[in-house]
Amino acid sequence: MATHPGGLTAPGATALAHPAVRTRKLVRRFGDRDILKELDLTVAPGEFTALLGRSGSGKSTLLRAVARLDHTVEGSGELTVPDRVSLSFQDSRLLPWLRLIDNVTLGLRGPGARERGLTALAEVGLEGRDRSWPHELSGGEQQRAALARALVREPELLLADEPFGALDALTRIKMHDLLRELYERHRPAVLLVTHDVDEAVELADRVLVLEDGRISVDLTVDLPTPRSRRDPRFQEYRDTLLTALGVTQPQPLTEAKKDSR
Ligand SMILES: Nc1ncnc2c1ncn2[C@@H]1O[C@H](COP(=O)(O)OP(=O)(O)OP(=O)(O)O)[C@@H](O)[C@H]1O
């Protein structure tokens, strides 16, 4: 795997005996449009991967396929995912008629489920809010609860589709820190769909770009965490990805142009 800014590897080249996610020749089709075109992807256990791509490129389609939420969609190909998979979406999807603790532990079996729920709530900074109703929480708090619900199951794979997309900038920054902290403690494999290049470079150790139904860019982010957006190497990764996404970078003004302004 390449480890320098701009170092791109052949997509799906990782050979692993027990990957967290493995797709081979994955096809998903809506009508006569192939959205995923024989897509090959391997995610290692414990690997934090972000998935970027232009709007409509098929990021959510891929995530839904990996989550096995698309039984009715036409398609083909091989898909391997672990048993314990948790999901997190832009809206927290908490059930309004259940208190927080019951939302977090819903479907959790075995002794100690409640204790585990309380621990998870404490981990996301919601200690003492277990008896609250979802509508009593702010948007950021609801996303924290959704993270607690995802992590209490100790997933081998966390699938997250724009989980912070609806949050304000400040809350988003706090949630980035929290997600990275929780990831480092629990170490699930993560597949994070995002539109935000900075979010991808800040959080993920590997960033993919989906284009024309396949993974077109597979970039390893070799920066220590926590990452600073001011770090020139951060900016190199960012520029590489923006270029891959077809976003032209503003050129620095030359002295001549500055003078003529
Ligand atoms: N249920 C559906 N029926 C028909 N077309 C669909 C369906 N779901 C998705 N599509 C189409 O598949 C394409 C990929 O959609 P998808 O939501 O996966 O893209 P995306 O990359 O997640 O987009 P965005 O970044 O805008 O959320 C789009 O053109 C979309 O219109």
Q: Which pLDDT does position 25 carry in this prediction?
A: 96
Could you tell which of 26, 29, 30 is best to mutate to test the pocket of ligand 1, judged by most ligand atoms within 8 Å of the CB? 30
First vs last Cα of the chain: how many Å apart? 45
60 in ligand 1 pocket by Cβ < 6 Å? yes
Q: Which two tokens stand for residue 120?
A: 């998870």
Positions in the chain short of pLDDT 50: 1-14, 256, 258, 260-261
Could you tell which of 59, 196, 210 is best to mutate to test the pocket of ligand 1, judged by most ligand atoms within 8 Å of the CB? 59
* HSE (side-chain half, CA atoms, 13 Å) at 256: 0
30 in ligand 1 pocket by Cβ < 6 Å? yes
Q: Which two tokens stand for residue 255?
A: 């002295």
CA of 106 to the centre of ligand 1 (A): 29
35 in ligand 1 pocket by Cβ < 6 Å? yes
At the topology level, CATH places domain 1-84+155-261 in Rossmann fold (3.40.50)
Nearest CA to ligand 1 atom 6: 30
Q: Which pLDDT does position 56 carry in this prediction?
A: 93
Tell me if 33 sits within 8 A of 81, measured CB to CB.
no
105 in ligand 1 pocket by Cβ < 6 Å? no
166 burial level (CB within 10 Å; 0-12, 13-18, 19+)? middle
28 in ligand 1 pocket by Cβ < 6 Å? no
Which residue from 37, 52, 142 is spatially nearest to 100, judged by alpha carbons?
A: 142
224 in ligand 1 pocket by Cβ < 6 Å? no
Q: Which pLDDT does position 254 carry in this prediction?
A: 55
DSSP letter assigned to residue 250: P
Q: Which atom of ligand 1 is nearest to the CA of 58?
A: 18
Q: Which pLDDT does position 7 carry in this prediction?
A: 38
- The residue count of the chain comes to 261
Q: Which atom of ligand 1 is nearest to the CA of 53?
A: 21
Domain boundaries, the chain: 1-84+155-261, 95-154
DSSP output for 204-221: -SEEEEEETTEEEEEEE-
Q: Tell me: the pLDDT tens digits for 3-43? A: 334 334 434 444 566 899 999 999 999 999 999 999 999 99
194 in ligand 1 pocket by Cβ < 6 Å? no
* Torsions phi, psi for 239 (to 5 deg): -65, -40
Q: How far apart are CA 169 and CA 27, in angstroms?
A: 36
Q: Which pLDDT does position 22 carry in this prediction?
A: 96
Which residue from 155, 151, 177 is spatially nearest to 164, judged by alpha carbons?
A: 177
As separate numbers, helices (DSSP H) first and strands (DSSP E) second, the chain gives 8, 9
Starting at the edge strand found earlier in the chain, the sheet holding 74-80 runs: 33-43, 21-30, 74-80
